[in-house]
Amino acid sequence: MQDFLTQLPNVELHLHIEGSLEPELMFALAKRNNITLPYATVAEAKAAYHFNDLQGFLDLYFQGMNVLRTEQDFYDLAMDYFKRARAEGVVHIDMHFDPQAHLQRGVALDVVMAGLLRAKQDAESSLDLSVGMIMAFLRDRPADEALHVLESAAPYWKFLDAIGLDSAERGNPPEKFQALFARAKALGLVRVAHAGEEGPADYIEQALDVLDVQRIDHGVRCLESDAVVQRLRESQTVLTVCPLSNVSLKVVDDLRDHPLPKLLAEKLKVTISSDDPAYFGGGLLVNHMACAEAFGWDEAVFRQLNRNAIEEAFISEDRRQQLLKRLEQA
Ligand SMILES: Nc1ncnc2[nH]cnc12
Ligand SMILES: [Zn+2]
């Protein structure tokens, strides 16, 4: 199965680039930037990666990214993941990044964008890996701060494929960001949002109705509402489901209890992603292999999941047709 999966044109629609920061790189960047880490060794860092919920993870996620200071750091972060993903057969990644998490630490947007855009360019020219850019906003920060960041990002709007909404979901409903998403829509930007990860099915409806999103990131809790399931089925809105993330953050107790088989049985447009691979046990291939084992999925299921992802990826129509053809021939 691993050989079959590796030669597929795999597409990942939900990846936080800051969540791809492996402890080895974290240590290297800490040394380069003269930063003291709260861990003595890589093994100690890895041992700390046990979470009770989303907030427990976010605390370490924001702490980890503190080593990212320079344009070269952001470039190295992204290239490190792109190379690993490409070696596992990934051909396209839609990448979330969190500008507010860096601005708060005094790292300018220009620094973040220059590093990430240079990595994207190099991946596309030398790795046969295309990259979509999703500027994500932290839903536990004030809505007017998000709007200010979007406005200040004007020089980069042309490089964005979408805006997203992430971070602590409970108590931060989509409607809090109505004005931000309306502005993004007026600018012609596509919108996506995390919804129904820890938050209720109602947040999925709000994301669709109030934020007019094209994708739901996670969305697994849609199954708590028949009406939401029916709506997602009829609209074939893509769900970017992250199985090992859901296990790590205790959205489910065990992968065998994960609702993925039920989501597929409900004929929803499901895709698989790794979310934060450095923190949740691995990248797309590890997620695929874990699902193959937990659910007994055969090759046809992985073809369908990748077909769904290719159809929804932020890529040119030419590339989409090329990847669909590669999928047929794989
Ligand atoms: N799984 C997740 N949910 C919400 N925000 C995130 N930011 C990084 N990973 C996230
Ligand atoms: Zn996510």
Ligand 1 pocket member 88 (CB < 6 A)? no
And the tokens for 209?
Answer: 């109705």
Catalytic site residue from 197, 198, 205, 312: 197
Distance 14 CA to ligand 2 centre (A): 6
Q: What is the pLDDT of residue 257?
A: 97
Ligand 1 pocket member 288 (CB < 6 A)? no
Q: What is the pLDDT of residue 69?
A: 98
| Residue range of the domain that includes 207 | 2-329
Q: Is 197 among the residues known to form the active site?
A: yes
- Could you give the number of structural domains in the chain? 1
Q: What is the pLDDT of residue 116?
A: 99
Whole-angstrom distance, CA of residue 96 vs CA of residue 101: 12
Residue type at position 256 = R
Q: What is the pLDDT of residue 132?
A: 98
ipTM for the whole complex: 0.98
Whole-angstrom distance, CA of residue 243 vs CA of residue 281: 11
The model's pLDDT over 20-52, given as tens digits with 9 standing for 90+, comes to 999 999 999 999 999 999 999 999 999 999 999
Q: What is the pLDDT of residue 146?
A: 98
Domain holding 293: CATH number?
Answer: 3.20.20.140
Q: Chain-wide mean pLDDT for the chain?
A: 98
With CA atoms as reference, report the closest residue to 177 among 138, 214, 151, 131: 138
| Mean pLDDT of the 169-175 span | 97
| Residue 128 falls in which region: left (phi positive, over 0), alpha (psi -120 to 50) or beta | left
The model's pLDDT over 51-100, given as tens digits with 9 standing for 90+, comes to 999 999 999 999 999 999 999 999 999 999 999 999 999 999 999 999 99
* Residue 276 assigned as binding residue: yes
| Mean pLDDT of the 147-156 span | 98
Residues surrounding ion ligand 2 at CB below 5 Å: 275
Q: If you write DSSP's letter for every residue of 247-260 in order, what string do you get?
A: HHTTSSSSGGG-SH
How would residue 139 be classed by pLDDT, with cut points 50, 70 and 90? very high
Ligand 1 pocket member 246 (CB < 6 A)? no
How would residue 10 be classed by pLDDT, with cut points 50, 70 and 90? very high
The model's pLDDT over 185-212, given as tens digits with 9 standing for 90+, comes to 999 999 999 999 999 999 999 999 999 9
Q: What is the pLDDT of residue 126?
A: 98
And the tokens for 90?
Answer: 């990934």
Q: What is the pLDDT of residue 302?
A: 98
Ligand 1 pocket member 277 (CB < 6 A)? no
How far from the centroid of its chain's Cα atoms is residue 234's Cα? Answer: 24
Q: What is the pLDDT of residue 1?
A: 97
* Residue 94 assigned as binding residue: no
